[in-house]
Amino acid sequence: MLACRRILPVIFFLLGGAALHAQRDSIPINTGWRFTIDQQGKGLSAHWFRHALPDARAVDLPHTWNVDSLDQLHYGWGWYQRTLQVPAEWKGKHLDLVFGAVNHSAIIYLNGRKVAEHIGDGFNRFTVPLKGVKYGRDNRIIVAVNNDYGRNKVPFGSSFDWPNDGGIIRPVMLLVGGTPHVERINATAELNLPDSSGRVALELPFVQQHELRLRVKVSEENQATRNVVLEQEVAAKWNGSTATIQFDLANVHPWHFDRPNLYRVEVTVIANGKAVDRVATNVGFRKPVFRDGRMFLNGEPVKLVGVEWTAGSNPDFGLAEPDSLIRAMGHLMKAVNCVFSRQHFQQGETFYDFCDRNGILVQQELPLWGPETPANDTIRRIAMRQLETMVNNLGNHPSIFAWGVGNELRARDADMKGLIADLLARARELDPTRPVSYVSNSLTQGFAGQPGFVPDAAADGDLLMMNEYGGSWWPIPQGAIGPYLDSIHASYPALPFFISEFGLCLPNFSGGDARRIRDMVYHWALYESKPWIQGAIYFDLTDYRTHYPGTSEPGRFRRRVHGVYDMYGNAKHSAAVLRELASPVEVQALRRAAPGKLQVTLIGNIGLPEYTARSYTLYLSDSTGRWQGTRAYPLPDIRPGQQAAVEVDDAYHGKGVVTIMRPGGSVAYVKSFYWQPVER
């Protein structure tokens, strides 16, 4: 029996010429909305949900009012309204509204009647069944949204360090399905080694058991061949009201961050000889394992590095980012060699789809954040509900390799430690296939063997994730960081050790990007000297918006200057430094070889990162560094510590700019062999 997880409302977009509602349709309803701010908080008592909203203006979704010049400092109620035309022929169909996210609480009304509440959960996707619609007529949908600094939510109050943008911050879909109606598809994809066979287990929950058959089709989704690897029709096996399927596949192409192979699994529901519903999801076959304090991916020992992106950073959009901007931020992550990241709060499907397709492993966390967060019954209830929704929504994504249950809490206090332990246990129940962790910054209070030592809640996780800010936020000098890290490893020697955050925040700590580079290089070298550190995540990709005070910029421009890019994605000098440090291969030398030829000497990086560079490509260009259009030189596989030599054409008289490309098309490394004479 599969664990109860991986709930994915499956979306099928209409194709040109396709018959409407033949099986299942998803209709975007992101235009035609009207919005009004509720400065006085009187909308509920005045029954705004019963009539057209007063003083409403047209908006499109996703939307947040906290990037508008007049409402950027409003933290309270905002109201949205839309007319939904429901054709008479839809009668008997199953109708759902799917909200990508509403920050942080929502009350949904249909024709003046409350049909759902979604309280204290601003980043998870949720579904509202539409019952009581008027067929053949217009229906009014009203959504009341609240983003106050309340106590009935996670994150609690103002405990978080990102923008408090209120609104319907992600797209909305109308799902129209037939009968019998499958509620979701839950997929578990298992990679077997060493033969690279795969096993897939599916769960398809219905309202009740039915006499039906299931047609299964599995095809290579993003691979060059697009082969169909399985197509068969099976009788449903039932576990209560859930239909289950399990099948094996031979010789699958594993998912790896440099080769993110995906498979499309489609299930068609057949009742009375007719196709009545169809659901689908992407899966990837990969095997991350922790053993003896080391991380292995698909049998290969790896050490991983990357960067975190804090959503909502662009002041033109805030948390209501369009898909194009989310993908652009993903490409910036890949531009600095990111293969390993974490997210403090849940993102939309676009982000995880990008990570699935471009090879970024993600630890996805609850936004349970900050020492002021209580461990009371309210927070426990909301956090547990968020955890279950998060795992159920996102569990099909191969890019998610671990779940996190919180960040920088009071993890030595008995009440909070108990809550963290319970969340870790629940995460394991929901998804026994992934490791779980808590991200700590309170491992500083002594170490094992000292009198009165109390283990941190992070010790209950499957991996040790620690934010490290020695020399800045922490009151210890840089020279003490190394011994401190040693003491932590000595206290928790069995746990794989990861640096979950490090970086430099301006203007809290002065020195500009030059200091950021020095700080980055110092910490990186220190981590590389500790062979038991399995990975590190730089914080942050961009300067990011926050509601916290401490900067001179007002409103939507208030920010932490913490990134290697600015808020708009413009690179700082530190971005190139991060890219070089995070490359798995280094260029050591460019020397003359045979007549008309040069030899490029490369070596596989040891320390951070550490993994085999396979199917990488080298280009040699002139002093501009423009490699496009130049000859491509495929590189041999280069293992950590292994040296390799590649012969190239001497097109630039013994000089050149060497560019190394990853197999996915992003730049891994650039080194110039042009030089300027020293001025006397």
**Domain layout of the chain by residue ranges:** 24-177, 186-283, 305-581, 585-672
Output the CA–CA distances (angstroms, integers) from residue 523 to 135, 343, 446, in the order listed: 63, 22, 21
Asked if CATH classification 3.40.50.170 holds for the domain at 585-672, the reply, yes or no, is no
- CATH homologous superfamily of 305-581 equals Glycosidases (3.20.20.80)
How confident is the model over 338-348, as a mean pLDDT? 98
Backbone angles phi, psi at 637, to 5 degrees: -60, 135
The whole-number pLDDT of residue 18 equals 30
- pLDDT at residue 17 is higher than 50: no
- What integer is the mean pLDDT of 551-563? 84
Highest mean pLDDT of the ranges 13-17, 131-135, 508-512: 131-135
Of how many residues is the chain composed? 680
Residue 13 pLDDT grade (very low, low, confident, very high; cuts 50, 70, 90)? very low
What integer is the mean pLDDT of 571-588? Answer: 98
Residue 444 has pLDDT above 90, yes or no: no
pLDDT of residue 509: 87
- Number of C-beta neighbours around residue 493 at 10 A: 12
Domain 24-177 has CATH 2.60.120.260: yes
Residue given tokens 């197509």 in the structure block: 231
Q: Which pLDDT score, from 0 to 100, does residue 678 have? A: 52
Residue 473, pLDDT above cutoff 50: yes
Per-residue model confidence (pLDDT) at position 199: 96
- Give the confidence band of 5 by pLDDT, cuts at 50, 70, 90: very low
Does this chain's domain 186-283 share its CATH topology with 585-672? yes
Q: CA-CA distance, 188 to 192, in Å (whole number)?
A: 13
Joined together, the tokens standing for residue 357 give 């397709």
CATH architecture of the domain covering 186-283:
Sandwich (2.60)
**pLDDT above 50: residue 7:** no
What are the structure tokens assigned to 263, written together? 């498979």
Check residue 679 and give its pLDDT: 56
446 band by pLDDT with thresholds 50, 70 and 90 = low
Mean residue pLDDT across the chain = 92
Per the CB < 8 A criterion, the answer to whether 674 and 657 are in contact is yes
Closest CA to 488 of 442, 528, 523: 442
Residue range 79-108: mean pLDDT, rounded: 95
